[in-house]
Amino acid sequence: MKKTTIFGIFAAALISVGGIFTATTTDTKASAIPTVFVRKITRLYTSDGELINNRALGEYTSWIVGKTGFIDGAEYYQVATNEYVKASDGQIYNDLDNDVPLGTYKPDTHKISDYFVKYVNALHKANGSEPVHTNADFENYAMQRAAQQNGNVLDHTTATRNLNENLSSDGLAYLLKWGYVHSDRDVAYYVLKDWYTDEYNTIPMGQAGHFGHSANVLYAGPTIGFGISNNAAAFVADPVGASSYDAFNWLYNYAGTTPNTNFISKDSVPE
């Protein structure tokens, strides 16, 4: 597993949150080594919760976790002496030595779709929205939509059906190289989480539409389809029904930063 050195970031503001790190685990043992994987440049904090203004973790890097704990109620991972990352900024894996080598995982797009639908149903249950289902027609159309994208340029205008649609550049080529996925379930959860958080939406935070992908996976249906190609992923669904219309519109037009919705854990759908 690759690990790179941390590097400087300049002109960053110093922020203090005033907390104290409270460990919830002892130092990790060699037989079970948790690691945290970060996709983007990730800020570091001291055990007091103060932002470290001249160091950060490099994008697409993995780091051994020394301790986990909380500062002012938020979970953090220790990656160096008095240097911590927010749990929300990375993905943690529980055993570096026993991780499945990336080259041995062979994606099955149908199984990925099946896991994705199960995760969407778990998400709907957590938020009180109606259950969903898929069929071969919707799955095949979603696969077609994913195959039509080139990854860097996603195009809704080529759709041939009047359905709600999410597109993502989280294709298999990207996920197998950078996403740290080891199973079909990993792929499904990774893509759903990206759409739910809407961190990479081209519509800026604070504007209507920023949480449009999240609104789709939370409220569209009841028939949905998921497809993934080497370059992109696609989610298609029946237009939002009357029972979820108000909730969908509220989230779609939400201009804040933290909508009052509930996400799910990876374990909400078993292997």
Strand 91-93 versus strand 74-80 pairing type: unpaired
Answer yes or no: is 188 within a domain: yes
Domain-embedded: residue 232? yes
Is the Cβ–Cβ distance between 210 and 252 less than 8 Å?
Answer: no
Structural domain boundaries enclosing 193: 107-251
- The answer to whether position 199 is within a domain reads yes
C-alpha 148, offset from chain centre: 23
Nearest-Å Rg of the Cα atoms of the chain is 20
Regarding whether 136 and 79 lie in a shared domain, the answer is no
Cis peptide before 222 (omega within 30 of 0): yes
DSSP assignment letter at 52? E
Are 115 and 217 part of one and the same domain? yes
Claim to verify: residue 175 and residue 130 sit in the same structural domain? yes
Q: What is the pLDDT of residue 100?
A: 41
Residue 117 lies in a domain: yes
Confidence at residue 73, expressed as pLDDT on a 0 to 100 scale: 81
Q: pLDDT tens digits for the chain (271 residues)?
A: 221 211 222 222 222 234 555 555 433 333 345 777 776 788 899 988 899 988 888 766 777 888 888 888 888 888 888 899 888 887 665 544 444 444 568 889 999 999 999 999 999 999 999 999 999 999 999 999 999 998 678 999 999 999 999 999 999 888 887 777 889 999 999 999 999 999 888 899 999 999 999 999 999 999 999 999 988 999 999 999 999 999 999 999 999 999 999 999 999 999 8
Task: Tell me the C-alpha distance between 152 and 236, whole Å.
Answer: 19
C-alpha span between 147 and 179 (Å, rounded): 19
What is the CA angle 262-214-117, rounded to 5? 80
Q: Is the residue at 61 inside a domain?
A: yes
The secondary structure of residue 188, as a DSSP letter, is H
Cβ 87 vs Cβ 93: under 8 Å = no
Question: How far apart (Å, rounded) are the C-alpha atoms in residues 197 and 210?
Answer: 10
Q: How many structural domains compose the chain?
A: 2
81 and 193: one domain? no
